[in-house]
Amino acid sequence: MSHDEKAGFLQHIEPSLKDGSFVKMSFSKYRGGDSEFKGLMVNLISTIEGERLSFRFSYKTKDVVKNYEIAKGISLVSEITGKDFLAATLFTTNEDYSLDYSKKRVPTLHTRKPAFGTALSREHNREKHRIVDPASEYFYLLGISSKEGRVHSDKYDKFRQVDKFIEIVDSLVATSELKDKSEISATDLGSGKSYITFALYDYLTNTKGMNAKVKGIEQRKELADLSNKTAIQCCFNSLSFMEGKISDGDSDSADIVTALHACDTATDDAIAFALRNNAELILLAPCCQKYVRKRMHIPEDLKPVFAHGILEERLAVILTDSLRALVLEHFGFETKVFEFISSEHTARNTMITGVRQKDTGKRNMKALNEIEMIKEKFGIEDFYLDKILDLHKQ
């Protein structure tokens, strides 16, 4: 009878995967020997190699994700059900199936009405293969997704931006001195509602398996307090937030420094912070570049080109971010400037990234000369960043 109940439960898995009714599986009543273990969730994902069953093992301080081919995944479910876990539930859009074991390890199969009315189609999953998981607890707590891991329609652009950001971080880490580190630190300056900060911590800790210490600095106390509360709820013990301005950032070591949408000279303060703390990787998404516009003078031969205010404003943005990139190059970073997110999803943002090259102890004087050339060409006495870094003394 026991075998029949378990077999009856397992026989529903493969058909639900084939007909698209599979939603997820959950396992509880853990009987293994790891006191840190909290639970297991299984989802269907689509990867470059094809569809996989994704096992998310949740511990007190981290989540571990392992993906298996369908047949191997079903075999693993069979192996752990009734052994490591005495309760398992298969959620489908047709019916939910729960297998519960008594103290004497006698299983009982229950069939219930479905808790979920719809499941993501396979085509949808195939298009949405991502590094970050919308089913992560912090996305639910921060209001990005539902308990079931579905991104709210009005938050999809924000989720897409977070996912793209982590994708960029992933590619840059692979080309930096950080790729082989087991311990890493990161600071998110102007962390706001902290979507990026949580995703970065999750990526470094759970995807890369690093011992990560991540800090968010936010001027608004209520947001810093809320983010700290959420970090505690997620058991992200090495993720913390503090109230403060970017310019007031402390001098802890930071391998990665990020500042997204830091207004005007706050981006420059972030660069100074990164240089002061010997960052290996810098990611910036500037906005409201006003400082240079007030100080630049259009050369006579270019005045017909920039006769209109909006064009002059765009020139100020280009000059500001070009000068920032050159400053990073002067200090030994390989820089890239590119569009951060497609304008069809959000307003166009420019991203500046810097990856520190092997330190030779020498400054890039060519970059410094180009900075001076631009300043002279456009009559810019200073662009703030050069002033706070004392570039004239380099």
Task: Write out the two tokens for 159.
Answer: 């989720």
Of 140, 197, 135, which Cα lies nearest the Cα of 169?
Answer: 197
Q: In the 8-state DSSP scheme, what is residue 119?
A: -
- 330, 367 in Cβ contact below 8 A? yes
Task: Write out the two tokens for 344.
Answer: 């069809």
DSSP string for 246-311: GGG------SEEEEEEEETTHHHHHHHHHHHTT-SEEEEEEE---TTTTT----GGGTTTT-SHHH
Report pLDDT digits (tens) over 99-117.
999 888 999 999 988 877 7
- Cα(146)–Cα(246) distance, integer angstroms: 32
Report pLDDT digits (tens) over 343-371.
343 445 789 999 999 876 678 999 999 99
- 296, 355 in Cβ contact below 8 A? no
Percent over 70 (pLDDT), the chain: 91
Lowest average pLDDT, out of 30-39, 300-309, 331-340, goes to: 30-39
Percent over 90 (pLDDT), the chain: 62
Q: In the 8-state DSSP scheme, what is residue 145?
A: B
- Cα(25)–Cα(92) distance, integer angstroms: 9
**DSSP 3-state helix, strand, coil percentages of the chain (rounded to 5)?**
35, 30, 35
β pairing state of 183-189 and 107-112: unpaired
- CATH superfamily assigned to domain 158-393: Vaccinia Virus protein VP39 (3.40.50.150)
Compute the Cα dihedral for 158, 161, 165, 166 and give only its sign.
Answer: positive
Mean pLDDT of the region 197-222:
93
pLDDT at 180: 86
Task: Write out the two tokens for 6.
Answer: 């378990």
- The per-residue pLDDT of the chain, averaged, comes to 88
- Does the structure show a pLDDT above 80 at 287? yes
Q: Where are the domains of the chain?
A: 2-127, 158-393
- Cα(46)–Cα(44) distance, integer angstroms: 7
Task: Write out the two tokens for 48.
Answer: 């470059």
The answer for residues whose C-beta is within 8 angstroms of residue 325's C-beta and 6 or more apart is 335, 337, 352, 354
Mean pLDDT of the region 71-92:
93
- Cα(218)–Cα(194) distance, integer angstroms: 9
Q: For the CA atoms of 200, 205, 210, 213, what is the dihedral angle to 10 degrees? A: 70
Task: Write out the two tokens for 83.
Answer: 């052994």
Confidence of residue 245 (pLDDT cuts 50, 70, 90): confident
- 6, 81 in Cβ contact below 8 A? yes
- Does the structure show a pLDDT above 70 at 241? yes
- Please tell me the total number of residues recorded for the chain in this structure: 394
Confidence of residue 125 (pLDDT cuts 50, 70, 90): very low
Q: Would you put residue 107 in left (φ > 0), alpha (ψ -120 to 50) or beta?
A: beta
Question: Model pTM?
Answer: 0.67
Task: Write out the two tokens for 166.
Answer: 């982590």
- Cα(318)–Cα(227) distance, integer angstroms: 34
Q: In the 8-state DSSP scheme, what is residue 84?
A: T
- 70, 80 in Cβ contact below 8 A? no
